[in-house]
Amino acid sequence: MARVTRLHRVEQRTRGRFVEPPLTPRTAVIWSVLAAELDRRADVALTVLDVGGGTGGFAVPLAQAGHQVTVVDASPDALAALTRRAAEAGVADRVHAVQGDGDALTGLVEPASVDLVLCHAVLEVVDDPLPVTTALAAALRPGGAASVLVAGRAAAVLGRAMNGHLDVAAALAAAADGAAGPRDTLRRRFAAEEAATLLRAAGLTVEEIHGVRVLADLLPAAVADGQPGALVELERALAGHPPYRDLAAQLHLFARRPA
Ligand SMILES: C[S@@+](CC[C@H](N)C(=O)[O-])C[C@H]1O[C@@H](n2cnc3c(N)ncnc32)[C@H](O)[C@@H]1O
């Protein structure tokens, strides 16, 4: 099984400011946060680990920016799509696909070897989020950063209610785990402070919390599709500010392993 290698220093080319891929309401806020970290370390090619990275929506742009990215994912189909996407983008040599489970990272990744770990839309589907989060933290070298995206609890309640499913909204609002029983596709959802508490329990310092898709899922399609640039800008403007942040469909936490 591939093991994540240590940080690679870029010797033969000058790294510039990170150029974000085309931004959507789903990705703009996350890329803004990541770009700041990538720019901060613009002189090195980072070792990146994307747990549950799926088909490579983040892994491939990061590899295109010159970083070494390992994607650990449970799904062979997702990894096959990732491998194709990386080849089409010309970065097959910088993207490593590893089939595995998020809470078994210690057997797949050398401890304290990763500069940036991504775990997007995974903690809401795993059996227990704490061992996975602890494994993410253990993979990071001291000073390394974590980008964690989780499903928001309040948005799910509002969404069910606005679609007329008041009984489901009431059940979700009352459920300790923010999930609506066995037919829910997710096992849990988070309020911002709950997600932050989880990361802190794993030994990470939470530096930033943003809402992702504060408005995007609430707007009529004609508005969202008709004014995409304005929507991205408004999402970015609202993302960091409660109460808007706390109503977002997803919460993005940027955290760091203490140096
Ligand atoms: C909703 S997708 C998110 C994909 C990607 N991170 C994104 O944000 O677009 C969840 C991914 O996590 C993977 N996954 C689910 N449980 C996992 C686990 N226990 N360990 C590793 N990957 C897992 C799934 O195969 C899937 O690719």
Give phi and psi for 122, each to the nearest 5. -120, -40
pLDDT in tens, 184-213: 999 999 999 999 999 999 999 999 999 999
Query: Using CA positions, which residue lies closest to atom 14 of ligand 1?
Result: 52
> Is residue 70 domain-resident?
no
pLDDT exceeds 90 at position 43: no
- Choosing from 1, 30, 73 the residue with most ligand 1 atoms within 8 A of its CB, the one to mutate for a pocket test is 73
Compute the average pLDDT of residues 7-25: 60
pTM of the model: 0.93
pLDDT in tens, 78-137: 999 999 999 999 999 999 999 999 988 888 999 999 999 999 999 999 999 999 999 999
Residue-level pLDDT at 1: 36
Residue-level pLDDT at 17: 72
Give the integer Cα–Cα distance in Å for 120 and 229.
24
Ligand 1 center–CA 57 separation, angstroms: 12
Range of the domain at 162: 153-189
Residue where a domain terminates, one of 189, 212, 243: 189
Is residue 112 located within the same domain as residue 40?
yes
Is residue 128 located within the same domain as residue 168?
no
What is the residue-averaged pLDDT of the chain? 92
Is residue 123 located within the same domain as residue 214?
yes
Residue-level pLDDT at 107: 87
Residue-level pLDDT at 221: 92
Give phi and psi for 107, each to the nearest 5. -85, -10
Of 150, 151, 180, 68, the C-alpha closest to 113 is 68
Query: Using CA positions, which residue lies closest to atom 12 of ligand 1?
Result: 52
Residues β-bridged to residue 95:
69
Is residue 181 located within the same domain as residue 108?
no
Compute the average pLDDT of residues 27-31: 96
Is residue 196 located within the same domain as residue 134?
yes
104 lines ligand 1 (CB under 6 A): no
> What does the H/E/C string look like for the chain?
CCCCCCCECCCCCCCCCCCCCCCCCCCHHHHHHHHHHHHHCCCCECEEEEECCCCCCCHHHHHHCCCEEEEEECCHHHHHHHHHHHHHCCCHHHEEEEECCHHHHHHCCCCCCEEEEEEECCCCCCCCHHHHHHHHHHHEEEEEEEEEEEEEHHHHHHHHHHCCCHHHHHHHHHCCCCCCCCCCCCCCCECHHHHHHHHHHCCCEEEEEEEECCCCCCCCHHHHHHCHHHHHHHHHHHCCCCCCHHHCCEEEEEEECCC
59 lines ligand 1 (CB under 6 A): no
Ligand 1 center–CA 102 separation, angstroms: 9
Residue where a domain terminates, one of 189, 214, 246: 189
Is residue 159 located within the same domain as residue 145?
no
Residue-level pLDDT at 21: 83
Residue-level pLDDT at 15: 56
> Is residue 130 domain-resident?
yes
> Is residue 63 domain-resident?
no
Ligand 1 center–CA 124 separation, angstroms: 10
pLDDT band at 16 (very low <50, low <70, confident <90, very high): low
Query: Using CA positions, which residue lies closest to atom 4 of ligand 1?
Result: 54
Is residue 161 located within the same domain as residue 221?
no
pLDDT band at 22 (very low <50, low <70, confident <90, very high): confident
Ligand 1 center–CA 147 separation, angstroms: 14
Residue-level pLDDT at 216: 94
Compute the average pLDDT of residues 215-227: 93
Structural domains of the chain, count: 2
Ligand 1 center–CA 55 separation, angstroms: 9
> Is residue 112 domain-resident?
yes
